Structure 1
Amino acid sequence: MGRRPEFAYRKAMGWKIALIVVGSLGLPVVNNWAGGLPIASADPGNGFMRIQDVSASLALGLMLAFPVELFTQASYRRQIRRHREEIQRLEEENRKMNVQMLREKERRGAEWLAELESSRAARKGKYSPSIKEIDSASPAEFEMTVRRLMERDGLKAEVIGGRGDQAVDVLAVNAAGQAIAVQCKHTTRGRKVDSRVLYQINGTAGAVYEAGESMVVTNGSFTRDAAEWGARHGILLIDRDTLIKWAEDADHVYQLVDLALPV
């Protein structure tokens, strides 16, 4: 999109000044020439410009300059109108292009999700731990389970958990190179995960690990405050019921949570 057009006002001003000067000098010169007087003379009585001549000359110069001013303003208005029309045209083209790209992305996303459904059996045969196995695992083993589930679903994943992990236990990367920071909360007593866990990963996922997505996985559940806070701040939550679908039923992680599709 081009810049707002700027009419050559300096050039127009030069023309106006030139016309004023020509008009101011032209009238006495013509009058003197017509009267047979010298065009210029030091003698006040012999061709020197009178007050009447000066006033009439200035008026003539201004009259000659007035059309230039009108032409300048009209030209500028035409340029502004063409500029606005060009902006509207480009905005409309951009809107149509964005709509087309969005539709294409939705189409490819739908096809990709359909392929995930058809490959469920392969995922189930590759790795599908039961919820009983998950419940009996240690916190470190739970982190490994989440990593393996991510890898089963085609993501690259590594366990970060440990001292200094800064609230991220597993870091996964999808096919588009987008990072997903995961906090794993294992419980054997059905305890609920509260909002403090979400605060922690929300503060470190992007700042420390440059992750575009944050996720908390638990074999328990979330408090209502945590669920509401996560929805409000875009943190993806996998609770016990969703974990069963992910592990035992071999649902793909992209079918369970609203991750940005790598298409």
Structure 2
Amino acid sequence: MEKIDPQIEHLINSFLQHDVPHLNEDLETVILCGSYATGQATLTSDIDLCYIGEFPTFKRENIVFQGKDFELMVAPWSWYEEIASERKYANNIGTPMVMLAQGRCVWGNSDKWVHLQKLARETYHAGPVKASDENIRRIRFHLTNLWDDYCDNENQTERQLLAMYLIQTCIESIFVLRQWWAVKPKYQLADLRSKDANLSYKLELCIQTFGGDQDVLRDFCTYVLNPVGGWLRESWTAF
């Protein structure tokens, strides 16, 4: 596990000394999550902290401390436990379950936290629930429609915009179709490289041409859709 940058560690400790006393006895554990916990932080990254304790409800807060944004997720143990066991795919790419699985305790370690992270890691390694046949059909239908709109449009600027939207939709779809946990856009290409080199190669060709090469774009989309039935050209009924 990556070591926390000493300057960031000092900043977090200073922040907690400033903020924790305001929470009286409700706060029991603080978990560092997100990019600073995984070693992927940049100069502009927020510091994500999960506050866990005997709080009455869930809430989010943003506090600027010494020029740095602290994103706080404050909730009781029961809320985090429910989240930690949730396998359903979520569009929220910063899902609390993933944050807990990859998190690092920075204040108030306890047996409760050890149990909570174990539960989150089990859920994380199990992966999202497999997409239903209906969800797969919707993805196929949506991508087929986007492709047709792209092919029918004769305005070069609008075609390029549609192409980029089609590429991004394919990327988002692949995480659902392959049962991969979603990641932020800035991590998507690296994540795809590690999971499917052929897919990432086709994606990079699309990006290099800004979606302007129709054959390259079609090849990428087809690669995404073929394992689940390809383009949706057959009849269907929604119930």
- Shorter-chain TM-score: which interval? under 0.3
Q: TM-score, normalised by structure 2?
A: 0.24
Q: TM-score, normalised by structure 1?
A: 0.23
Larger radius of gyration: 1
